[in-house]
Structure formats: C-alpha cells, structure tokens
Structure 1
Amino acid sequence: MEKYLDIIKNSYSGYWNYLKHELIDINHWDNYFYGLIIISILVWILEIAFPWRKNQAIFRKDFWLDTFYMFFNFFLLNLIVFIALSNTVAEFFNDSLGLIGLNVKDFELFDVDKLPKWLGLFIFFIVADFVQWNTHRLLHRFNWLWNFHKVHHSVKEMGFAAHLRYHWMEPVMYKSLLYIPIAIIGGFDAQDVAIIHFFNITIGHLNHANLGWNYGFLKYIFNNPKMHIWHHAKELPQHARYGVNFGITLSLWDYIFKTDYIPHDGRDIELGFEGDEDFPKDFVSQELYPAFSKKRKVEL
C-alpha cells in the first residue's frame, strides 16, 4: 500500500513540475500547452475566414464553456486525478501479472525502437486510433457509458473547442482500453508520440469546427467536418440508433465496418440527443450528471 501512496504522491508532484515547465519553457517544439493554444487559434481563424454555417456567431453558443473544458480536460484533469490514477492502475496491473510470474514485457510482440521511426509511429497511430474507434462505439452502446458521453453530445453549435468538451471519465475509458495494446507493441519515445498527438488534436479540432470541408478523396481515410457533423445529429436513422461515424482521426474504420452515414449536406441539421433540453447547461452539473441521472437498463 505504501508503494501505491508513493506513486500517487510522486505523480502529483511530477505532473505539477511538468505543468510549470510547460508554462515557462516555450523553447521546445513539443510543448503541449502552447501547442494546444496555437492549434486552437489557427483552426478558429479558419472558422472565421471560411464559415460553413454563416449565421453562427464567432463566439458561438457555449464557446467559453467549451474553452474551459478544453483546458480543464487537457491539463487540470491530469493534475487533479488522471495521472495519479493512471500510474497507480498501471503499477497494480504489473503487480498482478507478477503474481502469476508474468511481466508486461512478456506481451510485447516487437519493440518499435528496432523499427524505422516512421514505421513505429505509423503502427502506434493505427493501433491507437482503431482502439479509440471501438471505445467510442462502446460509449454509445451502453447506457451507463452513454451518460458520460452525453456531455460531449450536449454541444448545440459546433466549433473547434467542442472537440475537448467531454466528461472526465472518458479518458479513463480510452486510456484503460488502450493500455494493453500499446504495451504489446512496445516502448515509444515521448517526443515522437507528440507528433501523433498534435496531428490528432488538429484533426479533432477541424472535425468539430464550423467548416464545410471533407478533404476530397481523403474523406475515406480521415474524419472531417462534413462527416462528423452527422455523428452529432440529434435525429439518427432507424438502422443506427446507437450512432454513426465513430471515427476519431480516421474515417477508414467507419467505411470498413459500415458505420458511415452522410445522407446529405448536414450543415443545418439539429445537434444533440433526445431529451437534451433537460440536460444541465453548466460545467459542474454536467460533470455530476452521470452520478445523479436515472439508472436505466442496458439495452442489448
């Protein structure tokens, strides 16, 4: 138990020092704090210059709420709970394997350090995106998970910052299901992973932006605003009552597994979900919603 308490304590102090370093040191290219700000400003400028929904205000509905979510989920959540929880669970998982004479290294299929850098990054990107696509489907499939995911789908006007409006339990789900597949692949250099991370943030911001782009033939590979708008549609087709277009960065999986749905130009469709008029409108109430919402039977 003392070991786990030390991990929690060191996680807090370590991440706090990291966060201070990110705020003060602007001389390294993989600075997540300023990287997020730069990407956000650039995508917002694109929204202003090429608005798809021209009657949507520059400071759209819930703009400041989503901006707060963006920084809370990307930085403060890690400080409050996520890093400590992740490190503790990872250590517990490794200790549990040790009880049966195993180590997480025993599951490695290969070490990316022995591959060309571009190939290692490509494998990491593909595996991570596929796991996240499946996790996203689970968030829509089971009611207890959907209650967390409703926070993201409570967006009524799309804009870049809506990308990071989500309940704090979502990254717990994503990271938990991603842990074993990434462990199987092997170790990664943090700076190399930053390349993938910034790319994913950019695509995610663009997917939620007030832009009418689909990238031409690349729409079959990369998620895009014209595709993702239908993921947020309030009215879903009968054959897809649990959702459509689950792609995170890649749209490829939706086309392969037939969850793609773009019936027509979705510029003016209503966003949200059934009953969203009663969904909380402020940050604290939205975070508490899953704990106090009515528990419904999981539909299979």
Structure 2
Amino acid sequence: MEKYINIIKKAYSGYWNYLKHEVQFPPHWDNYFYGLIIISLIVWGLEMLFPWRKNQSIFRKDFWLDTFYMFFNFFLLNLIILIALSNTAAELFNDLLGTLGLSLSSFQIFDVNQLPTWLGLLIFFLVSDFIQWNTHRLLHRVPWLWNFHKVHHSVKEMGFAAHLRYHWMEPIVYKSLLYIPLALIGNYSSKDVAFVYFFSIVIGHLNHANLGWDYGVLKYILNNPKMHIWHHAKSLPKHLKYGMNYGLTLSIWDYLFKTKYLPHSGKDIELGFEGDENFPKNFINQELYISDASAQKTKK
C-alpha cells in the first residue's frame, strides 16, 4: 500500500512541477499551455472571419463556461485525478501480471520505437484514434456512460471551446481503454507524441467551431465541422438511434462502419439531447450530475 501512496504523491508533485514549467515564458515548442491558447485564438479568429451561423454571437451561449472547462479539463483535471490514477492503475495492473509470472511486454506485438519515427507516430495515431472512436460509441450506447457524456452534449451553440466541455469521468474511461492497446505497441515519450496531440486539438477545435467547412475530398478522412454538428443533433434518425458521426479526429471510421450521417446542411439544426432543458446549467452541478433511474437510458 505504501508503494501506491508514494506513486500518488510523486504523481502530484511531478505534475505540479510540470504545470509550473508550462506557464513559464518563453515557452518550448511542445508547450501545451501556450499551444492550447494559440490554437484557440486562431480558431476563434476563423469563427469571426468565416462564421457559418452569422446570427450567432462571437461570445456565444456558454462561451465562458466552455472556456473554463477547456483549461480545467486540459490541465487541472490531470493534476487532481488523472495522472495519479493512471500511474497507480498501471502499477497495479503490472503487479497483477507479475503474480502470474507475466509482464505486459510479454504481450507486446511490436515496439514502435524500433520503427522510423514517422511510421511509429502514424501507427500510434491510428490505433489511439480507432480506440477512442469505439470508446465514443460506448459513451452513447451504455446508459451509465451516456449519463456522463450528457455534459458534452449539453452544448446548445457550437463554438471551438465546446471541444473540451466534458465530465471528469470521460477521460478516465478513455485512458483506461487506451492503456493496454497502446502498451502492446510500445510507448513514445510525451515530446514524441506532442505533434499528434496538437493535431488532435486543432481538428477537435475546428470540429466544434462555427465554421461551415468539410475540407472537400479530405472529408472522407478527417472529421470536420459540417459532419460533427450532426453528432450533436438533438433529433436522431431511427436507424441511428444511439448517435452518429463518432469520429474524434478521423471520419474514416464512420464511413467504414456505416455510422456516417449527413442528410443535409446542419447549419441551423437544434443541438442537445432529449430532456436537456432540465440539465444543470453550471459547472459544479454538471460535474456532479447523476440522473435518476428513469433518465438512465441510452440516447434515443
């Protein structure tokens, strides 16, 4: 037990030191704090220059709530729970395998570190994005997971910062399901995958932005604003009653597994979910939200 307590303590102190280092100026090239700010300002600027919904305010509904979510979830949530939890869970899992005379490396398919950097990063990106696409589907199909995912779907006007409005439980689910698949192909350092994360942030911000873009032929590969707005549609088609367009960065999975839905321009569709008028409107109540048993249904 002392071993795991020390892991938690080390995780907290280590991440706190990391945060202090991140806000120092001038920043290093893979600085997530200033990187997030720069990406957000650029995409917000694009919203102002090329607004899809021209009657939507620059400071749209819940703009400041989503901005707070963006920084809280991207930085403080990691400090409060995720780093300590993931490090401790990983150690517990490795210890469990050790009692069986095994190690995670015993199951490793290959080591991406032995491949050319570009190829290793591509494999890392494709594997992680596919696992996250499947996890996103689970968030819609499993009632108790959908209960948490409602926070993200409570957005009523789309804008770049809506990308990072989510319940604290979501990254725990994502990281838990990602851990073993990524461990089976080896691990890159945070600096190695910085480009992948920045790319994902850019695409995620654009997906939620007030922009009417689909990237032309690239729409079959990359998720885009015209596609993703249908994911947030309040009214769902009967043949896709759990939702559609689950792609985070890539749209290709939705085309391959027939969860793509683009019936017409979604520019003015109503966003949200059934019963969202009764959903909490502030950060604290949304983070603590647990619906009653009658509301614990899959999205329909």
TM-score bracket relative to the smaller structure = over 0.9
Answer yes or no: is the 8 Å Cα contact 1:143–1:296 preserved in 2: no
Unaligned segments of structure 2, at least 5 residues? none
TM-score of the aligned structures, taking structure 2 as reference length: 0.97
What's the counterpart of residue 29 of structure 2? 29
Answer yes or no: is the 8 Å Cα contact 1:144–1:295 preserved in 2: no
Answer yes or no: is the 8 Å Cα contact 1:159–1:209 preserved in 2: yes
- What is the aligned-residue identity percentage? 73
Answer yes or no: is the 8 Å Cα contact 1:163–1:205 preserved in 2: yes
Q: How does 1:7-18 map to 2 (within 5 A)?
A: 7-18=7-18
Query: 2:64 is aligned with what amino acid?
Result: W
Answer yes or no: is the 8 Å Cα contact 2:147–2:296 preserved in 1: no
Give the drift of 1:25.
Answer: 4.3
Give the drift of 1:27.
Answer: 3.4
Partner Cα distance (2:223, 2:232) in 1: 13
Partner Cα distance (2:5, 2:214) in 1: 48
Answer yes or no: is the 8 Å Cα contact 1:26–1:34 preserved in 2: no
Give the drift of 1:297.
Answer: 6.3
Answer yes or no: is the 8 Å Cα contact 2:27–2:34 preserved in 1: no
Partner deviation per Cα, 1:146-195 (whole Å, 9 max, x = no partner) = 01000000000000000000000000000000000000001213212000
Matched residue of 1:190: which SS?
coil
Are 1:98 and 2:98 counterparts?
yes
Query: 1:294 is aligned with what amino acid?
Result: A
Partner Cα distance (1:136, 1:183) in 2: 20
What's the counterpart of residue 153 of structure 2? 153
Matched residue of 1:75: which SS?
helix
Partner Cα distance (2:287, 2:143) in 1: 16
Partner Cα distance (2:62, 2:34) in 1: 23
Partner deviation per Cα, 1:100-140 (whole Å, 9 max, x = no partner) = 01111112111112101000000000000000000000000
Give the drift of 1:26.
Answer: 3.1
Deviant stretches of 4+, over 6 Å: none
Alpha-carbon distance change, 179 to 295 in structure 1, aligned in 2, over 3 angstroms: farther
**How many residues align structurally?**
299
Matched residue of 1:212: which SS?
coil
What's the counterpart of residue 88 of structure 1? 88
Are 1:184 and 2:184 counterparts?
yes
Partner Cα distance (1:235, 1:127) in 2: 31
Matched residue of 1:61: which SS?
coil
What's the counterpart of residue 242 of structure 1? 242
Answer yes or no: is the 8 Å Cα contact 1:213–1:226 preserved in 2: yes
Partner Cα distance (1:152, 1:77) in 2: 16
TM-score of the aligned structures, taking structure 1 as reference length: 0.97
Partner Cα distance (2:207, 2:256) in 1: 20
